[in-house]
Amino acid sequence: MKRKTYGRRPNNSGTVVKLSGTRRRPYAAKVTENHDIITGEPNRKIIGYFETKAETLEALSLYSLSSKNNINKDDLRALNSSMYDQIMLAKNKELPTFKQIFETLKKDLYKTLSKSRQAAYNAAFKRLTNLYDKQIDRITLFDLQEEIDKSKVQVREKVLYDMKTICIKVFKYAIIHQYIGRDSDFTSYINISIDVNKSAPNKHIPFTMDEIKLIIEDNTIESKTVLTYILTGCRPNELLNLNKKSIHLDELSKDDGKELEISYIITGSKTTAGRGRCVPIHNAIRPFILNVLEELSKYSDPNNIRKNLFDPLMDRLDLKHTPYDTRHTFATLAKLYKVDSFSRKRIMGHKSSDITDDVYTHTLYNQLFCEINKIKI
């Protein structure tokens, strides 16, 4: 039997797509609504799924007539009432918004993520506000790139990466649930690279001696907290939710053969070298370290610390710094006051390039305590 053939459809009148796999209705009718202004690629919408190619072509014709108003609705329904109802339903269907999809998928996504990763995704999602109320099939590459570009001058590249990841996950979800087709997913084109020739907004700058003096003179719980981060070299999350067993104050130690009263905490994250490490408490912060740790226990994640404690202090003192600048300040002070390299790396949780130091050399708490107190402020 001679195979039935179909002529090429006129431009902008839709297209028929044969879907893969075994399906009851393997043919999809797609229409082009507009073109992305960046890539020039068509933004296509699926108006229905059909058993045969002939039905699909008929659906596209009905859709075209309804869009151009060349025929009234009653006459159009008379041509094929069931198909007309299906097309009208697809035409007027309210697809979920970007925000609705993210709120749905994160219920399962967040089950596999740590609290810090969840906080990072939440912070990145807050930078995509202009996408929140847009239906997923209406979002173009221009919309996506515009949100990324606005944040490039404000955040680190890692935040931009999280923003792009969220977009990818949202569009993937939309494709799986057949809200959009694969050719409507432009997330792979999102550019998150930062121009290296521009001044880098995410470059960490240590506090100066004058700025540290200003923080000391402020003498508030906020300034004491920042000073604690400066003199411990801890990452923002490493002083959160410490239990009593992790805090050791005024203990007698003689691990180097000499009896010495020392104070330290056991904390750490991120790397094997960083976890479960001894961080000696500098004499300058010993009088208020418990008050600081109690204050930090109020916060669930580093983003809350920055928003409610760190940034308000920086604004009040007219300083331009990020929380991670405190860690860079510690490293700078340790170098300035000749804290030995081994102790500096152990306190900060960095791996040594010397295998003898990493594997065979054991940390002496007395040594770390004496070394950190070389720093004079």
- Give domain status of residue 59, yes or no: yes
User: Are the C-beta atoms of 229 and 299 separated by less than 8 Å?
Assistant: no
Do 214 and 325 belong to one domain?
yes
123 & 80 share domain: no
* Position 86, amino acid: Q
Region 167-183: mean pLDDT is: 88
- Structural domain harbouring 57: 15-92
Of the pLDDT bands very low, low, confident and very high (cuts 50, 70, 90), residue 236 is confident
Pick 81 or 311 by higher pLDDT: 311
Residue 361 shares a structural domain with residue 227: yes
Whether residue 82 lies inside any domain: the answer is yes
Average pLDDT rounded to a whole number, residues 338-352: 82
Cα–Cα distance for residue pair 229/240, rounded to 1 Å: 11
Q: Does residue 69 sit within a domain?
A: yes
- The total number of structural domains that make up the chain: 3
- Look at residue 377 and tell me if it is in a domain: no
Instruction: Name residue 247's beta-bridge partners.
Output: 265
Answer whether residue 2 is part of any domain.
no
Please indicate, yes or no, whether residues 222 and 348 belong to a single structural domain of this protein. yes
Q: Which of 92, 109, 139 is the endpoint of a domain? A: 92
Q: Is-above-0.75 flag for pTM?
A: no
125 domain-assigned: yes
Tell me the pLDDT tens digit for each residue of 35-66: 655 566 666 777 777 888 888 777 777 776 66
Question: What CATH number did the domain enclosing 148 receive?
Answer: 1.10.150
**In this predicted structure, what is the pLDDT of residue 74?**
57
List the CATH number of the domain containing 304: 1.10.443.10
274 and 250, same domain (yes or no): yes
The residue out of 56, 75, 92 marking a domain boundary is 92
Residues 224 and 306 in one domain: yes
Does residue 36 sit in the same domain as residue 71? yes
230 and 368 together in one domain:
yes
Give residue-wise pLDDT tens across range 264-273: 999 876 545 4
Does 5 map to a domain? no
- Of 61, 92, 123, which closes a domain? 92
220 and 340 part of one domain: yes
Instruction: State whether 233 and 135 are in the same domain.
Output: no
**Do 181 and 217 lie in a common domain?**
no
| Cα–Cα nearest to 166, from 216, 217, 105 | 105
Residue 34 dihedral angles phi and psi, to the nearest 5° = -165, -175
104 shares its domain with 69: no
Q: Is residue 8 part of a domain?
A: no
What does the buried/exposed string (b/e) look like for 162-193 if buried means 16 or more CB atoms within 10 Å of the residue's CB? bbbbbbebbbebbeeeebbbeebbbbeebebe
Out of 46-60, 94-108, 300-314, pick the least confident: 46-60
